[in-house]
């Protein structure tokens, strides 16, 4: 598995930090969304609740499947206010 990242941390955003277009497009009506945390990666907004624990991925905390052959992987910062993002491909 190959993981591509620029090792830059991205800020974790709250619901109020998203634009109206981002709020309407992906989330519309969904319970608890105001309490969720988000980040932006490659012009997409991701909800941290959509990520699964990455038991088998060294140095990464979670993953979200994008395609059959790729996943977005994340590593939370020590302070918990930002996230490092990568793309894992087979």
- Residue 80, Cβ neighbours under 10 Å: how many? 9
Which residues in the chain show pLDDT less than 70? 25-33
> Residue 3's pLDDT is what?
92
> Residue 87's pLDDT is what?
95
All structural domains of the chain with their residue ranges: 2-89
> Residue 22's pLDDT is what?
78
Query: Do 4 and 90 meet the contact criterion of CB atoms below 8 Å apart?
Result: no
Q: Which phi and psi angles does 81 have, rounded to 5°?
A: -105, 0
Query: Do 88 and 1 meet the contact criterion of CB atoms below 8 Å apart?
Result: yes
> Residue 28's pLDDT is what?
54
> Residue 27's pLDDT is what?
55
């Amino acid at each position: 598995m190959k993981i591509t990242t620029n090792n830059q941390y991205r800020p974790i955003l709250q619901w109020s930090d998203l634009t109206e277009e981002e709020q309407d497009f992906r989330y519309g009506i969904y319970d608890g969304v105001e309490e969720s945390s988000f980040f932006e990666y490659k012009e997409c907004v991701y909800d941290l609740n959509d990520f699964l624990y990455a038991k088998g991925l060294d140095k990464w905390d979670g993953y979200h499947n994008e395609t059959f052959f790729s996943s977005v992987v994340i590593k939370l910062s020590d302070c918990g206010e930002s996230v490092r993002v990568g793309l894992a491909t087979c």
